[in-house]
Amino acid sequence: MRTFVGRGRARALAQPVASLIADAGEAANAVEDGATTTMAASLAAMLASDGTSLFSVPGYAWIDGVDGARDAAEVGSWVSGVGPLQFTVGYARCAGVQVETATSTQRQLVTSSFDAANWAPVVVDFDHRGGFITGDYNAITQVTLQMLALLPAGHCRVRVVDPVQLGKSADFLHRLGDAGESVLGNRIETTAPGFVRLLEELEAHITYVTRKFLQGEFSSLTDFNLAAGEVAEPYRLVLIYDLMTACERSPGNPDPDLWIRLQKIINAGPRCGVFVIGHAAQIPPDVQEHYLDSLLLMHEQPSDDWIRSVFGEVVESYHGEGPIRSVEPRWVTRGLSPLADATLAALRGRITGAIRSADDVVVTPAESARVARAKSEREQGSSVPGRMAIDPDDPLTWWKGNSADGIAARFGRAGARDVAELVFASDTRSNALVAGVPGSGKSVWLHSVVMDLVLAYSPVELELYLVDFKEGVEFNEYARKGLRHARVIAIESDRDFGLSVLENIDREIERRGVLFKASGGRDVNIATYRETTGEAIPRVLLVMDEFQKLFERDDRLATRAGELLDRIIRQGRAFGVHVLLATQTLSGHDGLKRHTLQQVTTRVALRCSVDESRLILAENNMDASLLSRPGEGLINYAGGNKDANVRFQATFWSPDARAQALDQISKLLDAAGVGDIPWVFNGAEPVPARGLADLVRGSNPNRTLALPVGMPYLIGQDALMRLRRVAGGHGLFLGTESWAEVNSAAVAALVDGAEVRFVLAPTDDLEIENAFEEVLGLGATPVIRSRVSEAFNELAQVVRERHDATRYRDRAIVFAVPMLHRMRMLDLTDYANEVVEAAETILKDGPEVGVHLILGVDGVAGLDRRLTSNQLREVGVRVTGRLSREDALRLLDSDQPSGLKEHELYLDDMEAGTARRAQRFERVPPQEMFALLTSATDSEHHGE
């Protein structure tokens, strides 16, 4: 409700009071002619003047109001916003006046019965008085719901203390459903320790509001909000049920310390937007006098003879001249009438609807850019030199940023007029930590940061590592669009890959250290290096979502990851290397040392619990628990210090807008020839085939063939089947997809210039048959089933001839058998088989003269039916999918293949003594693979 003065009601009250004065004068036999009339007129004039002058107590006013929310229609017409917080808490009427005459030092009480029309609403101005005490549950419910309905959604937080009913008293808030949880939070205090903790939080909050908002300039938070045009900081409404019990140390034993702490909140809270409503059937006079004198006590008495002043001892008396020395009205109070069901439903509907609408608050990229431009015009630039304003819809404004002194992501709106910035520089703002529960908008925030950065800075200025450890799709779009700013994009990464990313960045820091030292000494940083050398070395930003997965097990990997991350955070800033760590929770994960996180002074908190807010921000900073909307958060550059909180709403990039911008980025960078396709790791899917175009294999048909198996699992490694001209230089693919992998290896060998002889296995699968035909169409020589024995004997003869002529650098010959398990004539375990002698010649002597076998078998059983253990020993490069632990140990002397995922391979190069995981490439037709590998080879040769 909004306060207004009803003169009609004031006049209606004036006449009965004047009549009482006359009665009092006559009873005292001390009224001179005309004195009563003059007194009545004077009092009536005061009552009618502005409705408040009778009572000079700030915070109380008579208004021509209604009993709370009158009906559903009225509730529907309310407009929420910033305004005075004045609410009807009950009713009062004048039950009599107490007069003092000139002839008597005794005061006389004259009473009269007024009809119901003379009840006047009692209004509490919360900004001044801060609350009231009542025995009327209904009054607490109505005032709370009206405050929630009239303030902007999300800008009134209710905290409840309920030591007797244990939360039941707040049922009216629970009936708001999800909106009630948003308003009430996840905790109701029912114990003395909980009440103390709440008071401590409120004390800290009052201090924060005083410093942050009032600053000696504004008398109250509402004054500040009115000046700002919005609710900058949510109000706190504290409901304390069974007040006397809540403040007991033990049953019947009041806790003076608790009362004193509560008194501090009651006295200091109103100006900072902290209000208290207490529930109590009775308040002892000494408690009222010592601790609650600032609050209005509204109690309904059953007997009419209970008459008291609503306004305590500070009711202003009317001091007249003449026979009547003073007049003091006496008032009786009553509570609010219960609201009709329809009105209650309308109130709840308004609150829940407003909160849901507030959850839909969207700051578009265009709006964020507009706010950023306005700030740049006001302040002549950004907090980071070199950061320029951009228009997300105008590519001509993109990539104007210079990262020499740092990078700044303008990721949303702060308040009504400011832009929210995340800065990474070589000072204390070098790294950042963000946390938010599911649904808090962490993904929205991450997208807002990444998208702004890739529009503001070119790949020459910025290099990203995007690593996501959870089963999500946060970085999928960047991978599919081939974001050139990204060196690595990992989706559903696992701990091994995450560790390899850290190792790679650590190596980059070491590399830059050597460069910087060579350019000018020990104190060189990225800015001075760029200035000295003119080399636009980019800043590196590692974004790790759900980074705590690295530390979920207490093992050697977690220890190593902790050491690397600590070093990167400590040393990286001077070399232009920064880290952004994101998580849903920091609770329960102690693998990363606390001192490492303490070095990260930039904290970003989205909606989370009180305990989580203390972890991500600071022990005394619970403000993140008060956030409600997705994408709403706090950024803090002071290690979580409460005074440094800046509230923001993150920019929302819709999937369509993001896709369009990324397409435009790729188009422009392709045209300019800038940037490389990122290394994409997806633990749940095969690698896109386009990654074949970026492989650097160093394959040579006259020396070593390096055939792609998949994408390396770890940065800094490769996943190539190297067929060397040494013993063991044959390859084996084991698994149900082995035919396709042999096909791919044969295509790669053709691209490299090797001669490929390809055995056509019998199959009724049209896909396999077509794939074989495509390999032959690319230049492979077919070996039909009836000529297999002959082909083996011919190849064995080639091996012998090359050895005899010492032709060790002749063109490589690859003999590909994609489905060995279906070739009975190649059962090499049967020494009666005429092909065994030729096969063993090739197995033992072929690699030295460039003759290699590439075999495909569908499983271990098929392998056992075709090769003896001695023959298998000559196959030095083995690639498998998932195996049983027993088979893995027998074939590879490792149990790692037993834990492989669907799209993973295990590459064991026995001759080189290396074993590693890799991801399969997606299956593509041989002709497409040939084109991709040819492109990669041409680029490789061009680079030479």
pLDDT tens for 306-322 read 233 333 332 333 344 44
Does residue 360 belong to any structural domain of this protein?
no
754, HSE (Cβ side, Cα atoms, 13 Å): 31
Q: Which range in 186-195, 298-307, 441-450, 820-829 is most confidently predicted, on average pLDDT?
A: 441-450
Query: Which string of b and e fits 231-243 if b means at least 16 CB within 10 Å?
Result: bbbbbbbbbbbbb
pLDDT at 309: 35
701 and 622 in a common domain: no
476 and 495 in a common domain: yes
Does residue 651 belong to any structural domain of this protein?
yes
Residue 47 neighbours by CB under 8 Å, 6+ apart: 10, 11, 13, 14, 17, 54
Q: What token pair was written down for 860?
A: 């271990």
How far is Cα 84 from Cα 556, in angstroms, rounded to an integer? 61
Parallel, antiparallel or unpaired: strands 755-759 and 731-734: unpaired
How far is Cα 238 from Cα 169, in angstroms, rounded to an integer? 13
CA 552 to chain centre: 20
Cross-strand pairs, 809:
none
Q: Judge whether 440 and 606 are in contact, CB under 8 Å.
A: yes
629 and 489 in a common domain: yes
Of 381, 336, 541, 529, nearest to 454 (Cα)?
A: 541
Does residue 82 belong to any structural domain of this protein?
no
pLDDT at 592: 66
Q: Is the pLDDT of residue 251 over 80?
A: yes
pLDDT band at 687, cuts 50/70/90? confident
Does residue 930 belong to any structural domain of this protein?
yes
Q: Which residues are annotated as a binding site for ATP?
A: 436-443
Q: Is the pLDDT of residue 63 over 90?
A: no
């309920």: which residue's tokens? 162
Q: Is the pLDDT of residue 92 over 80?
A: no
320 and 297 in a common domain: no
pLDDT at 612: 86
């608790």: which residue's tokens? 258
773 and 646 in a common domain: no
Does residue 51 belong to any structural domain of this protein?
yes
Q: Which of 642, 659, 681 lies at the terminal end of a domain, its last residue?
A: 681
Of 356, 408, 357, nearest to 383 (Cα)?
A: 408
How much is the average pLDDT of 511-520? 87
What three-state secondary structure class fits 854? strand
418 and 348 in a common domain: no
How much is the average pLDDT of 504-511? 93
Q: What is the CA radius of gyration of the chain?
A: 40
pLDDT digits (tens, 9 = 90+) for 749-804: 999 999 999 999 888 899 999 999 999 999 999 999 889 999 999 999 999 999 99
654 and 723 in a common domain: no
H/E stretch holding 42: helix 35-50
Q: Judge whether 746 and 740 are in contact, CB under 8 Å.
A: no
Q: Which of 681, 711, 745 lies at the terminal end of a domain, its last residue?
A: 681
622 and 662 in a common domain: yes
Q: Which range in 7-11, 50-54, 68-72, 445-449 is most confidently predicted, on average pLDDT?
A: 445-449
pLDDT digits (tens, 9 = 90+) for 909-944: 998 899 988 888 888 899 999 998 887 665 554 444
109 and 133 in a common domain: no
> What is the tally of structural domains in the chain?
4
| 431/81: higher pLDDT | 431
What three-state secondary structure class fits 718? coil
129 and 45 in a common domain: no
Q: What pTM value is reported for the model?
A: 0.68
Residue 85 neighbours by CB under 8 Å, 6+ apart: 125, 126, 127, 147, 222, 235, 275
Q: What token pair was written down for 828?
A: 């090499």
Q: How many Cβ atoms from other residues are within 10 Å of residue 217's Cβ?
A: 9
């431009």: which residue's tokens? 373
Does residue 69 belong to any structural domain of this protein?
no
How much is the average pLDDT of 578-583? 94
Q: Judge whether 129 and 74 are in contact, CB under 8 Å.
A: no
pLDDT band at 286, cuts 50/70/90? confident
491 and 383 in a common domain: yes
Q: Which of 293, 324, 352 lies at the terminal end of a domain, its last residue?
A: 352
Percent helix, strand, coil in the chain, to 5, is 45, 20, 35
Q: Judge whether 81 and 335 are in contact, CB under 8 Å.
A: no
Cross-strand pairs, 633:
606, 648
Does residue 308 belong to any structural domain of this protein?
no
How far is Cα 290 from Cα 40, in angstroms, rounded to an integer? 37
Does residue 565 belong to any structural domain of this protein?
yes
Domain that holds residue 339: 1-57+91-122+315-352
pLDDT band at 325, cuts 50/70/90? low
* Angle of helix 7-28 versus helix 35-50 axis, rounded to 10: 160
CATH number at residue 782: 3.40.50.300
Q: What token pair was written down for 39?
A: 């007194």
347 and 378 in a common domain: no
